[in-house]
Amino acid sequence: MTKHLSADHPNPDRRRWMAIVARAPAARMQSLLSQCGSLPQYSRLRGPEAGLAMVRGRAGGGGAPFNLGEMTVTRCAVRTEAGHVGHAYVAGRDEARAELAALVDALMQDADRAPQIECTVIAPLEAEQAAQRAERSRKAAATRVQFFAMQTMRT
């Protein structure tokens, strides 16, 4: 589990996989899902549809909350033929990505399919995202400037 996801969430596993698929590109999710064999039929319950969500911030990370602004979010909900319902909210207007994320959520709730989806879809996406974060951190660290203060001695 990544460090920014709290363990006191009612379903930390679901929170983990949803955080991963919400950031994954649609083409990559589709490519990984195609390796899982035949996928079940599903129907859309809602969307995909785009809208706006208010983004809130906190001064200093822990201060009083304030409205930072709005961002575009696309949501989707699907139900598989086995009756598993998946939901997804993704940043931006990519309807295919929202639908695929909702499908992955539904498949991960199916006890028979979850192990395969975890190994074939979730784990590779998680590894790729961790590598991207490490690369960004490495590049940022390369531009870090160290400032040293010299105190003058007075007599």
Q: Where are the domains of the chain?
A: 12-142
- This prediction has a pTM of 0.80
**Between 145 and 15, whose confidence is greater?**
15
Residue 84 has pLDDT above 90, yes or no: yes
pLDDT tens digits along 96-112: 999 999 999 999 999 99
Q: Which pair of structure tokens corresponds to residue 53?
A: 């969500």
Are residues 108 and 117 in contact, defined by beta-carbon separation less than 8 angstroms?
yes
Question: In terms of C-beta distances under 8 Å and separation of at least 24 residues, what long-range contacts does 67-73 make, across chains too?
Answer: none
Segment among 3-17, 23-37, 42-56, 122-136 with least mean pLDDT: 3-17
Would you say residue 2 has pLDDT above 60? no
Beta bridge partners of 53: 71
**What stretches of 24-152 show up as alpha helix (H) in DSSP?**
26-34, 95-108, 114-117, 123-142
Q: What is the DSSP letter of 10?
A: S
Residues paired with residue 56 on neighbouring β-strands, in sequence order: 67
Confidence tier at 1 by pLDDT (50, 70, 90): very low
